[in-house]
Amino acid sequence: MNKKDEILRCALEIVSLKGMDALTLNSLSEAVGLSKASMYHYFSSKEEIISQMLDMGHRNIMKNGFLLDLSGEPKDVLEKAAEKWENMFLDEDNWHFLRAVFSLHLSFPKAQDEYRSLFLMLSSQASVIISSFNTDQEKKRALIPLYSSALMMSLERILEDEEADFSTPLLGVLSLLN
């Protein structure tokens, strides 16, 4: 890993674990073993660090792909999707990125864009999953936004270290399908 990526990963970790106020050039330079002046060799400002930190996290989460296996009964499809999301979102690098996005999305436009993208991705996947089920269209239209919102709430709870997972919304969808 090059020094610039190391700085960005360290910045993600600081923001995700300690919050935005803890991310200073002093704390970051100390964590990566550089002088504060050397930091300016890599980045011109804290805002540039945040922007590139979010770009790096986005690239990392996208490389995992979002293809879902839609074969099998509804319960099987939902369980496979929940397992894929948990594996992807609980990956250490992705976890730090997502915590940073959730903590910054109200104050940084780029983080807000990432938050929206994440919601759209989960909504799109919920739509594809629910649409693949053999149930009436009215029920499908009602389930998609419910499932999408429940997935996003589960992700937020997981990132807050609460006892949550993606199987809770799965059980809700299964009960509504019957």
* Radius of gyration in angstroms for the set of CA atoms belonging to the chain, rounded to a whole number: 19
Determine the pLDDT at residue 176.
79
Write down the mean pLDDT value for the chain: 87
User: How many other CB atoms are there within 10 angstroms of residue 56's CB atom?
Assistant: 18
Do 100 and 53 contact (CB within 8 A), yes or no? yes
pTM for this entry: 0.83
Model confidence over 11-66: pLDDT tens digits? 999 999 998 899 998 999 999 999 988 888 999 998 999 999 999 999 988 887 67
> What tokens appear for 160 in the block?
């807050």
Q: Which of 148, 141, 142, 139 is nearest to 169 (CA)?
A: 148
User: How many other CB atoms are there within 10 angstroms of residue 69's CB atom?
Assistant: 11
The answer on pLDDT for 111 being more than 90 is yes
Determine the pLDDT at residue 65.
67
